[in-house]
Chains A and B, each alone.
Chain A
């Protein structure tokens, strides 16, 4: 019955539960809701034919979302110049954060994220997407104690990256 590329039976159940969080993780990385949904679709397509145990699905999806989104950033960097010209305006209502952090700053954040060690970047994004320390630890196979250390280093490195590449500094 279940072939090698069979679609898993619990796909929709898992999807409906995990979709918002997978999009949230991807959005933290790519900084754009539409592109984040593309990333999330890609992640669930892989998940659909995987045999990840149901109990580990949430962690697997979150980590896969972070990695896939970070991979997109890397691809972006290669075509950064073109993207600059064609950057899609954010269709959502501007909020306070948008006023403070301009689109240019958002681009610098993405570049900085892309330069962080991968594990740090993933831990950072997962924690800031609402995963608890225990969830991040389980997803990345770390001890909860070292999650704090990894996230702290990532935040410190992010600040340095953003300072170093800040305009007019």
Chain B
């Protein structure tokens, strides 16, 4: 047997010391992680070779024992598992106090879409202090998304800091006049209530909501790393760039129904606008769209809005709702209908004000209400 101190023909020095049990174990399944000198020693040392063989046997036995009952290579059922987790997470959350269906039709897509929309929509130009207006909602357009896409839309908090400057503070007010006094917006009057909707509405008013998003290259890199992706290099000036999103104030008239879901909601709010602290906006938008996590076809759909900076993408979950174009007194509108046919809504934007009519109604009924609004 060779002495462990000799030089090998390769010129590599072996070591006299027997490598530890742990090193032998690593030789079994990750030999590249073991030092050359240790590997050279083991190759020429009967005691270590015997130890290595024992380690191999035990490792194989452990692998067999641990994988028994574990279907190899089976599909992990990620989508179904994600739905289950989402439901459990939602169930653990405080329930929203009001109108869950209305939140679904209007609020949830808006929440998902707004943060993205402000960065996505291209560059109009209007100076406001050191802020540059880059986005002004003049219309909404449905973007068909799957449930998976909807949650995959990048939450901006993963890419930087979101600071809420103004909270909307939605609260009940006694009547339409009080709502108008609080917000400066007239509550549209419904000419004729659909069949089955009765009684007096309650009124809600909310102030302006604004938030500033500061892009952080470091945070975005972490978010990318978490999904095993490399962050594309941010364009110059984007790191630390600030974007401000403003929406509201808003008012709503809500007709209740026996089951708690509003029979009818008529809501109006100052439409979202976005401003930048000077970062070229098309640059920021294209960069955001290149980040890992945005489904490619959705990104393509959103890129289609580029340039005008006036279209608010309204994500519509493909499995849950359908959308179709309509018009309300000559203004383009989007009608959303839940697939179960129980809820419908119509949204349109005119003069920087977004109006929505929704409820436990059919599409034709909400359109009739929308077209009959006074004010």
State how many angstroms separate the Cβ of B294 from the closest Cβ of chain A.
Answer: 11
Interface positions of A from 112 to 151, Cβ below 8 Å from B: 112, 124-125, 127-128, 132-134, 144-151
- Whether B164 sits at the interface, judged by CB under 8 Å, is yes
Write the chain B residue with the least CB distance to A19: B78
Q: Are B225 and A90 in contact (CB under 8 A)?
A: no
Interface range, A side: 35 or more
**B68 CB-CB contact with A under 8 Å:** yes
Interface residue B128 (Cβ < 8 Å from any Cβ of A): no
A27→B69 contact, CB < 8 A: yes
**A13 interface contact, C-beta 8 A:** yes
- Shortest CB distance B86–A (Å): 8
Is B81's CB under 8 angstroms from A152's CB? no
Complex Cα gap A128–B59 (Å): 9
Q: Within 8 Å of chain B (Cβ to Cβ): is A1?
A: yes
**1/0 contact string of B33-71 vs chain A (CB within 8 Å):** 100000000000000000000010011011111111111
- Measured between beta carbons, the chain A residues less than 8 angstroms from B89 are 7, 11, 45, 48
Answer whether residue A84 sits at the interface, using C-beta atoms and an 8 A cutoff. no
Which chain B positions have C-beta within 8 A of A32?
69
Cβ contact within 8 Å between B158 and A124: no
Chain B, 19-41, CB within 8 A of any chain A CB: 20-26, 29-30, 33
- Partner of B22 from the list A28, A146, A158 (CB cut-off 8 Å) is A146
Contact between A98 and B157, CB atoms less than 8 A apart: no
Which residue of A is nearest B293, CB measured? A13
Which chain A residue lies CB-closest to B82? A15
Please classify the interface of chain A as helix (H, G, I), strand (E, B), loop, or mixed, using the class held by over half of its residues: helix
Contact of A53 among B92, B152, B222 (CB under 8 A): B222
Quick one: which of B62, B63, B70 has the most chain A CB within 10 A?
Answer: B70
Q: Shortest beta-carbon distance, B119 to chain A, in Å?
A: 15
Q: Are B76 and A48 in contact (CB under 8 A)?
A: no
Contact A33 B70, beta carbon cutoff 8 Å: yes
Q: Does B74 contact A (CB under 8 A)?
A: yes
B88 within 8 A of A: yes
Which of B33, B88, B227 contacts A16, CB < 8 Å? Answer: B227
Q: Which of B55, B68, B82 has the most CB of A within 10 A?
A: B68
Minimum CB distance partner of A3 in chain B: B94
Are the C-beta atoms of B22 and A148 separated by less than 8 Å? yes
CA distance A35 to B102 in the complex (A): 37
Partner of B55 from the list A57, A90, A128, A152 (CB cut-off 8 Å) is: A152
Shortest beta-carbon distance from A12 to chain B in Å: 5
Q: List 30 A-B contacts (CB under 8 A).
A: A1-B163, A1-B164, A5-B92, A7-B93, A9-B157, A13-B223, A14-B227, A15-B82, A15-B85, A17-B228, A32-B69, A33-B69, A41-B84, A45-B85, A57-B226, A95-B72, A97-B64, A97-B68, A105-B68, A106-B69, A109-B66, A112-B65, A128-B66, A133-B30, A134-B33, A145-B20, A145-B22, A152-B22, A152-B58, A158-B65
What are the nearest 9 A-B pairs in CB distance?
Answer: A148-B22, A149-B22, A101-B68, A54-B226, A152-B25, A31-B69, A20-B76, A9-B155, A155-B58
| Interface set of A (CB-CB < 8 Å, partner B) | 1-2, 5, 7, 9-17, 19-20, 23-24, 27-28, 31-33, 36-37, 40-41, 44-45, 48, 53-55, 57-58, 90, 92-93, 95, 97-98, 100-101, 103, 105-106, 109, 112, 124-125, 127-128, 132-134, 144-156, 158-159, 162
The chain B residues found within 8 Å of chain A, CB to CB, are: 20-26, 29-30, 33, 55, 58-59, 61-72, 74, 76-78, 81-82, 84-85, 88-89, 92-93, 151-152, 155, 157-158, 162-164, 211, 222-223, 225-228, 293
